[in-house]
Amino acid sequence: MEKNEVLDFLINNPDILLEIVGEILNQYHSNIDHIGIAESKMQLVEISKTIDRLECTGIPVPDELRNLKSSLLAASNNSKQAQTRYEMIIRGLNDLCSKYKINGHTKPRVRRRSRDDGSPVRKGRLTPRKTLIRAIVQVMEQMGNSGHKREIHNRLENVLADVLNPEDYELDSSGLVTWHHQVDWARMYMVQIGMMRNDSPRGVWELTENYKELLDGLK
């Protein structure tokens, strides 16, 4: 496809554009190990000191020690690079949101839904993430532990029909139905904690081998 064709396609399919951006952010976020960076720095310092002491005393430095230093340095650099790119995209998205305001507000006005009894809907009653995750697992187990995002969303609509609150059906700041967006965020969380694979083809969701253990310990 030519550049203009790709642009037109994404303009007409904003859900796919958001999916792509979400997948990119997820890949970068998965490669950021905040705790690992700190630990790697400490290990690098200690290993470097050990190598310096050995070299000063004329004792041969084991290849294993040098290789460990190199691998720790490479892992640290990769994590830093992922964090830099992740933050660059986040800043860029925030700048775009600030630039293209609607009527002076970053969020479009959305007509508030009312309950069956006519009472207004109160904020803060979105379906909990844990509930969404259990529903996602239920659907994916029926599909053989993997499936395409769109098919999973379609099946979730039936599974969650009696669970979702009125607020879940409102439009969020990007103009999408809130519960769809919440499901995507739940999926990203599942990837982060190891319930879903982070190397699946774009648009495909896959449960990991130990997803049941992680589901049992879900808070």
- Give the model confidence (pLDDT) of 83-96 as tens digits: 788 788 888 887 77
pLDDT at 48 over 90: no
Average pLDDT over residues 20-45: 67
pLDDT at 36 over 60: no
Rounded CA-CA distance 92/115 in Å is 38
Tokens of 203: 């648009």
Q: What percent of the chain has pLDDT over 90?
A: 22
pLDDT at 106 over 60: no
How far, in whole angstroms, is CA 179 from its chain's centroid? 16
pLDDT at 146 over 90: yes
Looking at residue 37, its pLDDT comes to 54
CB 184 within 8 A of CB 22: yes
Looking at residue 105, its pLDDT comes to 47
203 CB neighbour count, 10 Å cutoff:
14
Q: Which of 17-26, 63-72, 75-84, 203-212 shows the lowest per-residue confidence on average (mean pLDDT)? A: 75-84
Of residues 25 and 111, more confidence is placed in 25
pLDDT band at 112 (very low <50, low <70, confident <90, very high): very low
pLDDT band at 20 (very low <50, low <70, confident <90, very high): confident
pLDDT at 187 over 60: yes
Average pLDDT over residues 190-201: 90
Of residues 144 and 7, more confidence is placed in 144
pLDDT at 147 over 90: yes
pLDDT at 13 over 60: yes
Q: How far is CA 116 from CA 92, 113, 161, in A?
A: 41, 10, 15
Average pLDDT over residues 24-37: 63
